A = this chain, B = another copy of it.
């Protein structure tokens, strides 16, 4: 049976473990702490620092494949390990596009994937020039290290741009700018690809972000022409192929209205691992993104990505500002009692405001009803309160 090591100890690694168990495989986890989300549920935990080459090398010894639940392993380390014969998937040549927002956009341009107008920002002059070019509709981004909306700024005046860029460049933050789009919604086109080149997309989903964090995903994305749907899927496959991705790829998209007021898309961000907008696949697709990621990194043929039900809605349960008095398992109990159809996934993490602690999936026939159940359930798990005033 294959041994797969995952570098990372969060909920993505944890959910890879459930998929690994059913495939008869054994998942090894390189974790920072013995009680990390994934470390709690693995029989083979190696403690270490993913930024330390020796720690990683020791941890992955004897693995058939090595993969990641984040994009932060230094590429020079990854390359050394590949040279030493380790089977890392995805590889730095692909991963760089999930690490550097500017490199990604340059590549998208090269392969004719749609992106908003953008520019490298190496000086205040670069920034003000771009500001003028896009008539002030500017979005400034740290090229690297941003997550959940950290590292994204929307300066509204030329002066603000100057001050901000001066400060950020002074702090050594590599920058880029892109046109701020009046997008109508965010979409996510997910696909998995094997090193041998097989690729299978899932239906494109609609995602909702709050404060830069994904809070909800609806699969398939509602109210979309078949043509645009197809375009998203083909785009995700093209990107996976052109970049040589192995494993799961999430293509975060903006949907906006083009000059003819027709909905169209632009790429915002790539992630090369299971992604929050793909959690719905655990209960709504024949093959979950976690199983598919394992199949892909092991270069096994991919599974069917068809949906099981007309609609699946995923809602995250993020830590509330203050943890409710009601213990979490009492909250789970109440949700189970009201909604036997709710699939509750918990990551075994301690409460912290805004922290991703779990999610709820609901599958159904009807969009509004399915979403209502998923939102009510997640809200109760977070706040110990029924948003609709229900009482048991």
User: A: which residues have CB within 8 A of B?
Assistant: 1-2, 14-15, 17-18, 21-26, 39-43, 45, 200, 282-283, 286-287, 295, 300-304, 306, 308-309, 328-329, 332-333, 336-337, 340-341, 343-348, 358, 363
Contacts and interface: CB of A to CB of B under 8 A. Distances in A.
Contacts of A15: 21-22
Contacts of A332: 23-24, 300
A329 B41 contact: no
Nearest to A41: B21
Nearest to A287: B340
Interface of A is mostly: mixed
A39 B21 CA distance: 11
A282 B345 CA distance: 15
Given A300-B333, A337-B301, A340-B301, A40 B26 contact: yes
B341 A286 contact: yes
A303 B43 CA distance: 28
Contact of A43 (B40, B286, B302, B346): B40
A346 B340 CA distance: 28
B26 A18 contact: no
A319 to B, nearest CB: 14
Given A24-B358, A300-B336, 9 more contacts: A17-B21, A17-B41, A18-B18, A22-B343, A24-B332, A26-B40, A41-B43, A43-B45, A301-B340
A336 B301 contact: yes
Contacts of A341: 286, 303-304, 306
Contacts of A2: 329
A336 B286 contact: no
Contact of A1 (B1, B329, B343): B329
Nearest to A26: B40
A271 B170 CA distance: 70
A146 to B, nearest CB: 29
